[in-house]
């Protein structure tokens, strides 16, 4: 069972990498999109062809009905 007590980490700054510049996250991102597409019966290659440099919500909106975007 995980320790419920918070961990204190003294730091002067926190560096986040959300765009893959510091850490190459391309393979992990593509794997996640493949799973997402497969679960919805969508061709993963079609999804991957347009995900890079595009917000996730915009990618999702290209492949599901408007009323399903939030849930997807």
pLDDT tens for the 72 residues of the chain, in order: 667 788 888 889 988 877 777 888 889 999 999 999 999 999 999 999 999 889 999 999 999 999 989 887
Give a yes or no: residue 57 inside a domain.
yes
What is the total count of domains within the chain? 1
How far is 63 from 50, CA to CA, in rounded Å?
A: 11
Structural domain including 35 reads 26-68
55 in any annotated domain: yes
Q: Is 64 inside a domain boundary?
A: yes
Closest residue by Cα to residue 60 from 42, 43, 72, 46: 72
Does some domain include residue 34? yes
CA 33 to CA 39: how far, in whole Å?
Answer: 10
CB 69 within 8 A of CB 57: yes
pTM here? 0.70
Tally of CA atoms within 13 A in the half-sphere of 24 that contains its CB: 1
Classify residue 46: in a domain, yes or no.
yes
Is residue 52 a contact partner of residue 44, using CB atoms and an 8 Å limit? no
């Amino acid at each position: 069972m995980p320790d419920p007590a918070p961990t204190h980490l003294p730091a002067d700054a926190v560096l986040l990498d959300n765009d893959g510049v510091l850490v190459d996250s391309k393979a992990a991102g593509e794997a996640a999109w493949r799973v997402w597409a497969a679960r919805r019966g969508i061709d993963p290659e079609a999804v991957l062809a347009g995900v890079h440099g595009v917000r996730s919500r915009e990618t999702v909106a290209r492949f599901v009905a408007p009323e399903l975007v939030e849930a997807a």
